[in-house]
Chain A
Amino acid sequence: MPLTLNINGKSHDLGSIDPSTPLLWALRDHLGLVGTKYGCGQGLCGACTVHLNGQPSRSCILPVNALAGVKITTVEGLAKGGQLTALQQAWCDRDVAQCGYCQAGQLMSATALLARTPKPTDEDIDAAMSGNLCRCGTYTRIRQAIHTAAAQP
C-alpha cells in the first residue's frame, strides 16, 4: 500500500517504499529534501532533527511506516514565503555557523524550545539543546542566538 507523508504542509507520495526506511532517508533520497542531515544513524547527534506534530524527533531512527497522519516539519519548512523565522534570522545575525552541518538540527530543536518556552534561561537552553552535537563548537553562539530570537517582540 502506497505510503503518503505530510511534510511541510504538503502531501508526499512515497510509493512502495520499504516501510522500515528511516524518515531521514525518505527525506534525503526519495524526496530530495537534503536539509535534514545524516550524522550518526543512532539518534545520538541530533543532526537529523525534525518536528513530528511540533515535537523535535530524530528522523534517522524513525521508520516511515509509523508516520502516517503525522504533521512533519523539516528545516526547509521553517521559513514561510521566503521570510526567515526570528531564530533563523538570529542564526544569521549572530553568525552562529562554522561548517553549518549540524545547524539544521540545532534550529529544529531551538524552534521547538521557543514554542514551549518563549523566554528560556541558559539552563532551559542547555537542557533542550543537549541532544544536538556541534563538532565545530558553536555552543556559545547558539545560546546567544536563542536569547536574541526570544527577545523579539
Chain B
Amino acid sequence: MNLSEIDPATFPPATPPGHLDRRGFLRLSALAGGGLALALYLRLPSDLLAAAPAAAAAGTPDGDFAPNLFVRITSAGEITILASNPEAGQGVKTALPMIIAEELDVAWTQVRVVQADLDPRLGRQVAGGSQATPTHYEPFRRLGATARFLLVAAAAAKWSVHASELSTPGDARVVHAASGRAASYGELAGAAALLPLPDEKTVPLKNPADFRVMGRRTGGVDNPAIVTGQPLFGIDTRRPGQLFATFVKCPVFGGKVRSANLDAVKALPGVKHACVIDAPGVSSGVAIVATTTWQAFKARDSLKVEWDEGRTAAESTAGFAAAAERAWADPGSGKILRNDGDFEAARAAAGANLVGARYTYPFLSHANLEPQNCTALFTPGALEVWAPTQAPQRGREAAAKALGLPPEAVTVRMTRMGGGFGRRLTNDFVAEAAAIARELPGVPVQLAWTRADDMQHDWYRPAGYHDLRAVLDSAGSLLGWSDHFVTFAAGYDTAEPSGVASLGPDEFPGRFLPHCLVRQTPLPNGIPMGPWRAPRASAQSFAHQSFLDELAVASGRDPVAFKLAVLGEPRAIPATGGKGPVYHTGRMAGVVRLAAEKSGWGTPLPKGSGRGLAFHFSHLGYAAIVVEVTVSPAGELTVDRVVVAADVGRQIINPSGAENQAEGSVVDGISSCLLQSITLDGGRVLQTNFGDMPLLRIAQSPKKIETHFLVTDNPPTGLGEPIIPPVPPALGNALFAATGKRIRSLPISAHDLSWS
C-alpha cells in the first residue's frame, strides 16, 4: 500500500489485498424466497464477528440481509450487487460491482446495483487515496467467483454430473453442454444457498482473456437518474416534515460567537428556530432553521453577530510569504528530511553549473459544485443522517462526538456526492447538522451551506514555498538537488507539518541522485487544511517537475532524454526505511516514452506553440502528461492538446470511467493552476464565489484530450488521483517552450504570457 502518500490522520489504513481475515471473509445465506445471498466481510472487527450470524446457511425469517450483502440472487433470477463505497464522481459505484459481476459470470445488463449505507461489515467504505480499486479488486473477484462456484456446484448436484462438465456462458446460466441442459442462476439459487462455502482462495478465477464485463466501456449506473434530474445527491434529500437550516460561522477561522440578535432573527418570516451552536468538534456559530432554504439564507441578512475573532485574525497570505522568505534566509531553519551525499560540497565544486529557483503556489479550495450539506434527524438517544460524505465512518464519529452519543447510535445513509476531491473526507458539515438537528427532536433538518460558506470554510489545499537548487555535472547530468520547503504546521503548538502539507523524504528525485538535501520548515497557523485530490503530490509536483524542466533546459539536452536519464535503468527502488511504495523506474519511463511518442514529441511546432512534459508517481499510479499550447503574441492561451499516459496495472476495469477520470484530472489540473487562488487576510478568506475563484469553462478547456493506458503485469490500482499531479508542471513547461517564460508561481493567470 502506498501509505506514505496518505495522511494517516485522514485515511484509515486499508487492508492489503490477499491479507483478508479468513474468519470473516464470506458468509452465505439462504433467502426466504429460496434465493442465494453472499456477503463479504472485510476487516471484520472481532466484536462484530461475534455478533454476526454464526451459521449463515440457516437464513433468517425474512431473508433480509440487505445492508451487508454484496450479491443477492432471488429465485426469480433478480441479481443485485451492492455498491459499498461512497460515489463522488470517481465511478466506483459502477466499477466495483463490475468486478463482482465479471466473476459471477453474468451480463452487466442483468445486474441491478444498489447503494449501501454505512456498515462496518462492508469493509473500507471510503472515497479517498485512490484506494478502492487496489483494496477491492482481488477480494471482489473472489466474491463473485465463489458465488459462481456454488451455483455450478448446485447444478452439478441437480444433474448428477461433475462440475468440470459444466460451464457458465456469461448470461446467469449454468450449462451442461454434453446433455444440452441449462439452468438459470435463479433456478439454482435456492440449492446453492444450502451448500457449504468453499475456501475462496481455491475457487477458480477467470482467465482475464475471457473477461466480458471488465474492460468494456460501461456507462455509470446512475446516468439515467442524473439526466432526468432524479433525487440522488445529499442536498436532494427530502424527509416528511423537513426543515432547512443555515449555519453562520465566524469569517475568521476559530472565531467564536460572543452574542447574536437571535430574537430578531426568530421573528423573521419562515424562521422556526435560531440559536448559538456550541458542541464538541463543531465550529462556534449561529444556526437558523426555517421552512425553506431561501428563508434561512435570507434571514442571514438580518443576523448580527459579535465575534471573538481569536488569534488567527493576524494571519494573511502576505504574512506567510514573508515568513517563507525569512525561513529561506535562515540557514538553520527547518528540519532535514533527507541528506544523501554532500549537496553543499557538490554545489561548491559546481561553479557555473548551479541552478536555483523559487517556486510558490497558493491555498486552494475544493469548490465542490454541490455545497456542503447534510440532513439529520435526531430522536432522543439516536441520530440518522443522510450525508454526502467520502468518509461515512468518520461522519458517524463526528456526529456522535458532537452529540455525546456512542457511534453506534448514529445511522449514516450514504448519498451520491456532487464532487469530493478530498473535501468530503472531513465531516464538519455532518457534525454541524447533528448539532442543529438536536435542537429540534423528531424533525428532519437539512443543513445547506451557501457558496460563500463553502469557499470560506473549506479545508484548503495548503500553499507552499520551495527554494530549489540543483547541480549539473560537466556533461549536463543531474548530480544534486536541494529543496528547502516552507510549509504549514498542524496548528500553533507543534513543529510538525500538517499531514497534507508535508514533503515526503522520498519525493522525486529523492532516492535518484548522489546528492540530495531536503529541508522542511512548517509555519504555525490556524488555517484549516485538508486533503485535496492527490494530497501533497498535486501541489509539490508543480515545483519539482517545473524545476526539473529548467534543469533539462540548462543541461542543453532534450527534456525527455534528460528526464529519462534521471530515471535511469529499469529497477525497483524501495521506500526509505521500507515505509511506502516501491518506485518502479521502468514503469515511469514507460509512460514518459508513451506520452512523448503519442504527442509527436520533437516534431516542430510554429512559433508561439510548445509542448511540455511532466511525470509523477502517486497513489500507486504512474502518469506522464504532454501538454501542447499556443500562446498568441498578446498572451492569450489555448490548450490545443493534452496526452495522458498512465500505468495503473494489468486491468482497466471500466475504460469509459477510467478515461473520464483522466480527462477530468487534466481539466482539474489546468483549472487549478491556471485560475485558482485562495488568499487570506485578517485570518479570513477573501474569495466568496466563482466570480473571484473561477473554474475552467468549456471554452478554456483543452481542444483534445487523449488517454493511453500502458498495460503492465502489475496489480490494478486507482485513477482518481495519480493523473493530476503532472498536469500543472506539464502546462508550465509547455508555456516555457512556447514563450520562453518560466512559470514559477501560481496561478498562471497572474502572469503576463505575451511575447514578441
**Cα distance A100–B417 in the bound complex, in angstroms:** 9
Residue B229 CB within 8 A of the other chain: yes
- Knowing A98-B91, A136-B89, the reply to whether A75 touches B660 (Cβ < 8 A) is no
Chain B residues positioned under 8 Å from A127 (CB to CB)? 699
Are B701 and A137 within 8 A (Cβ)? yes
In the complex, residue of chain A having the shortest beta-carbon distance to the beta carbon of B291: A29
Are B690 and A91 within 8 A (Cβ)? no
What is the CB-to-nearest-CB distance from A14 to chain B, in angstroms, rounded to a whole number?
A: 11
What is the CB-to-nearest-CB distance from B198 to chain A, in angstroms, rounded to a whole number?
A: 36
Are A79 and B228 within 8 A (Cβ)? yes
Are A103 and B227 within 8 A (Cβ)? yes
Are B701 and A78 within 8 A (Cβ)? no
Chain A residues positioned under 8 Å from B704 (CB to CB)? 140
**Cα distance A40–B691 in the bound complex, in angstroms:** 10
- Knowing A18-B269, A25-B292, A136-B89, the reply to whether A88 touches B227 (Cβ < 8 A) is yes
- Knowing A38-B235, A76-B228, the reply to whether A135 touches B367 (Cβ < 8 A) is yes
Residue B607 CB within 8 A of the other chain: no
Question: Could you say which interface size class chain B belongs to?
Answer: 35 or more
Chain A residues positioned under 8 Å from B690 (CB to CB)? 40, 42, 44-45, 133
* Stretch of B368-376, B626-634, B743-751 at the chain-chain interface: B368-376
**Cα distance A98–B270 in the bound complex, in angstroms:** 36
Residue A125 CB within 8 A of the other chain: yes
Of B229, B417, B663, B671, the residue contacting A76 (CB under 8 A) is: B229
Please classify the interface of chain A as helix (H, G, I), strand (E, B), loop, or mixed, using the class held by over half of its residues: loop
- Knowing A29-B292, A30-B292, A47-B369, the reply to whether A100 touches B222 (Cβ < 8 A) is yes
Within 8 A of A (CB), among B82-103: 88-91
What is the CB-to-nearest-CB distance from A109 to chain B, in angstroms, rounded to a whole number?
A: 10
Chain B residues positioned under 8 Å from A102 (CB to CB)? 369, 418
In the complex, residue of chain A having the shortest beta-carbon distance to the beta carbon of B366: A135
In the complex, residue of chain B having the shortest beta-carbon distance to the beta carbon of A92: B223
Within 8 A of A (CB), among B327-383: 367-371
Please classify the interface of chain B as helix (H, G, I), strand (E, B), loop, or mixed, using the class held by over half of its residues: loop
Chain A residues positioned under 8 Å from B220 (CB to CB)? 95, 97, 100
Are A44 and B419 within 8 A (Cβ)? no
Are A22 and B228 within 8 A (Cβ)? no
**Cα distance A149–B691 in the bound complex, in angstroms:** 31
Are A138 and B663 within 8 A (Cβ)? yes
Are A18 and B233 within 8 A (Cβ)? no
- Knowing A92-B224, A95-B219, A95-B660, the reply to whether A38 touches B698 (Cβ < 8 A) is no
From A35, A103, A129, A142, residue with most partner B Cβ within 10 Å = A35
**Cα distance A47–B419 in the bound complex, in angstroms:** 13
**Cα distance A120–B255 in the bound complex, in angstroms:** 52
Are B699 and A98 within 8 A (Cβ)? no
Chain B residues positioned under 8 Å from A30 (CB to CB)? 292
Residue B205 CB within 8 A of the other chain: no
**Cα distance A38–B270 in the bound complex, in angstroms:** 20
Chain A residues positioned under 8 Å from B218 (CB to CB)? 95
Are B656 and A137 within 8 A (Cβ)? no
Are B227 and A137 within 8 A (Cβ)? no
Chain A residues positioned under 8 Å from B270 (CB to CB)? 18
Are B269 and A44 within 8 A (Cβ)? no
Chain A residues positioned under 8 Å from B726 (CB to CB)? none
Of A74, A84, A99, the residue contacting B89 (CB under 8 A) is: A99
Q: Mark B225-246, 1 if CB is under 8 A from A, else 0.
A: 0111111110110100000100
In the complex, residue of chain A having the shortest beta-carbon distance to the beta carbon of B370: A101
Chain B residues positioned under 8 Å from A22 (CB to CB)? 294
Chain B residues positioned under 8 Å from A44 (CB to CB)? 689-691
Residue B753 CB within 8 A of the other chain: no
What is the CB-to-nearest-CB distance from A87 to chain B, in angstroms, rounded to a whole number?
A: 8
Residue A72 CB within 8 A of the other chain: no
Residue A57 CB within 8 A of the other chain: no
15 inter-chain pairs at a CB distance below 8 angstroms, sorted by A residue, are A30-B292, A33-B229, A34-B235, A34-B236, A35-B231, A38-B371, A41-B451, A42-B689, A44-B691, A95-B656, A95-B657, A130-B699, A134-B667, A134-B698, A137-B667
14 additional contacts, CB 8 Å, given A37-B418, A136-B667?
A21-B292, A29-B291, A34-B229, A35-B230, A39-B370, A91-B227, A92-B219, A95-B217, A95-B220, A125-B698, A129-B698, A133-B369, A133-B697, A135-B421
Which residues of A are in contact with B by a Cβ distance under 8 Å? 18, 20-22, 25, 28-30, 32-42, 44-45, 47, 74-76, 78-79, 84, 88, 91-93, 95, 97-104, 107, 122, 125-127, 129-130, 132-143
Which residues of B are in contact with A by a Cβ distance under 8 Å? 88-91, 217-220, 222-224, 226-233, 235-236, 238, 244, 269-270, 291-295, 297-298, 367-371, 416-421, 448, 450-451, 656-657, 660-661, 663-668, 671, 689-691, 695-699, 701-705
Interface pairs A-B: 8 shortest CB-CB: A35-B229, A137-B667, A99-B89, A101-B418, A75-B229, A98-B89, A25-B294, A100-B226
